Chain A
């Protein structure tokens, strides 16, 4: 391990919260998805760091699955963006409130 685990965790946490802030603050659907990507990558960093710390392969394999899941998620969510944009001519998150109870 080239650095203490705490430092690595601090880095990944920072990235994660940057992504979270992006998700919460931005209103553009694309930007929200970008925030999600950032968060996922932060998690990936944590996993790789843990793998390195314990010198076990499993963490990295989790990252592979994480990437596969991300690809799936991105493909579906971008298709949704296309669909929603077609419906409302907008990708502002405020215009999608039909699910109001």
Chain B
């Protein structure tokens, strides 16, 4: 049954890849979304078995060499179960959405095949019981995201964005690989449970370095500092892809990896602190960048980065349940936002720029309300799921109590305020005022809107998954994950203070956004907003730091080494051969008698040589 969860998307994807182009369009979409939904149902059927140590299924032995065995084994424990349900559920909705969104595109079969394969790879990451299989899924996800971001590959910048995503995440993959191999050489096994169980045997330095290597891998996939620059560019892909890859699933793979390896990572305090700092800085960085973006999807991309930063922060604070809670809620509302953004883009006539939108509330009420729900969740409006999950992270930070964690808490609150600010900026720019664009409006299909509804509901109700005790909840998710001890232990009064503070920052952000963007004013982008718009000029920085020297090195290798040295050597050799050939061709004059004479002279030479030797 568990294998079905994994295999169904693979079969769907392969089927679409092989035969999809010959089938009628609705059937392609039907196969793809059917496969994912069937997978969702299968996961649901497996759910009861996920308690405790979880369900362990060994499919077959992949390869065996000496002491090394790679099993294709699945582990369905509470953590994986939650993730599986989330991924298959959200992906199923996105598939349906995509069926409508991509209805007019070419190559629909390719799109759905890749989408299904992506889900398959993601599920491989989630369900793998050893690191190698996980790495396989990890690479599969990377490949599929590359192919999907560059789906409209005929435009050079799209293909370039795909390449960038692939290469930057690959840098992270390198760290992951090194960590993986190191772990194997230390333990002689790649089973996740085995490694986690024996992690305590390692000496602290090694442990810290391995944890940091895993962090590097996670950073690449999850677009954390300093490997974050691919995510905004990845918005070149089709919107459903953005929703699936860059909101709900792929970027959370890094968080999932850290949660999976948490028993190992948590043994190193320093690694945890680094994770927390990386997450917090990314959250802050991305929030500031989101403030200035002009394209709706880039705003969402930066907000994704920022929220994933929160998840890292949660892991760094040692709270897997908080990270997972935020991961789940974020998946719901970010998928909602991205899919809503797709609707908005269609409403505005395929216009991405929010300064050319406005007044869209009147165009479609349903889209407005659904998108607003998403934004409220993102901004952390009270009683939405984003509010609870973010608050849990911040409360955990506060509960640690020491200056380091308190400063993280402070930054977290600041970021929350910024989040609220850019969320409402987006809302005002898109929906408020009058329409500023020129394109004629397009209708949005009903299917697309209806797929948003379940996400909107779960966005509003997702908070009940892990309602804190002090408002009468039971922290179900923490309990399910077997991490009751992670629920921050604060006095009721402090909790209320924290809640009030969170609510205050939310209101403050809203207020500023209201004052600034309530009426649309055309503003020249100042130096600060320009700085934020370009993502703190990180691309330029990396360009100068890495790409240009690399280019120069390549140029040197090309012109200096290859053209001048190697080609020069080869060509001069060939030229020498050519010249000699020209000289020697006079010997081959075709006159047979002369050849025969040469024989005779040669004979004479040989004979005289023997004679000389005989004399000497």
Which A residues lie at the B interface, using CB under 8 A? 20, 23-24, 27, 32, 93-94, 96-101
Q: Is the CB of B592 within 8 A of A93?
A: yes
Which B-chain residue is minimally distant from A21 (CB atoms)?
B600
Q: How far is the CB of B80 from chain A (nearest CB, A)?
A: 76
Q: Are B600 and A97 in contact (CB under 8 A)?
A: no
Q: Please, which residue of chain A has its CB at the minimum distance from the CB of B587?
A: A101
Contact partners of A98 in chain B: CB under 8 A: 590
Nearest-neighbour CB distance to chain B for A80, whole angstroms, equals 12
- For the complex, what is the distance from the CA of A101 to the CA of B586, rounded to whole Å? 7
A93→B589 contact, CB < 8 A? no
**Contact B588 A94, beta carbon cutoff 8 Å:** no
Q: Given A101-B584, A101-B585, are A24 and B590 neighbors across the interface (CB < 8 Å)?
A: no
> B185: shortest Cβ distance to chain A, in Å?
63
| Complex: chain B residue closest to A93, CB-CB | B592
Question: Beyond A93-B592, A99-B588: 5 further Cβ-contacts under 8 Å?
Answer: A20-B600, A24-B593, A97-B592, A100-B589, A101-B584
Q: Does B552 sit within 8 A of A, measured CB to CB?
A: no
Q: How far is the CB of B260 from chain A (nearest CB, A)?
A: 73
Among B584, B587, B593, B603, contact of A93 (Cβ-Cβ < 8 Å): B593
Cα–Cα, bound, A93→B596 (Å): 11
Considering only CB atoms, which chain B residue lies closest to A17 in the complex?
A: B600
Candidates A32, A93, A96, A101; contact of B588 at CB < 8 Å: A101
Contacts of A97 in B (CB 8 A): 589-592
CB-based contact A100/B590 at 8 Å:
yes
A101 to B583, CA, bound (A): 10
B contacts, CB < 8 Å to A: 584-593, 596-597, 600, 603
Known pairs A20-B600, A24-B600; A100 contacts B593 (CB<8 A): no
Q: How far is the CA of A94 from the CA of B593 in the complex (A)?
A: 8
Among B587, B589, B590, B597, the most chain A Cβ lie within 10 Å of the Cβ of B590
Cβ-neighbour of B591 out of A23, A24, A32, A94 (below 8 A) = A94
In whole angstroms, what is the CA distance A26 to B125 when docked? 87
Give min CB distance, B212 to chain A, whole Å: 69
Q: Which residues on A sit within 8 Å (CB–CB) of B591?
A: 94, 97
Q: For the complex, give the distance between the alpha carbons of A24 and B595 in Å.
A: 9
A99 to B585, CA, bound (A): 10
A23: chain B residues within 8 A (beta carbon): 596
Q: Could you name 22 residue pairs across A and B whose Cβ atoms are closer than 8 Å?
A: A20-B600, A23-B596, A24-B593, A24-B596, A24-B597, A24-B600, A27-B593, A32-B596, A93-B592, A96-B592, A97-B589, A97-B590, A97-B591, A98-B590, A99-B588, A99-B590, A100-B588, A100-B590, A101-B584, A101-B586, A101-B588, A101-B589
Q: Which residues of A contact B597 (CB under 8 A)?
A: 24
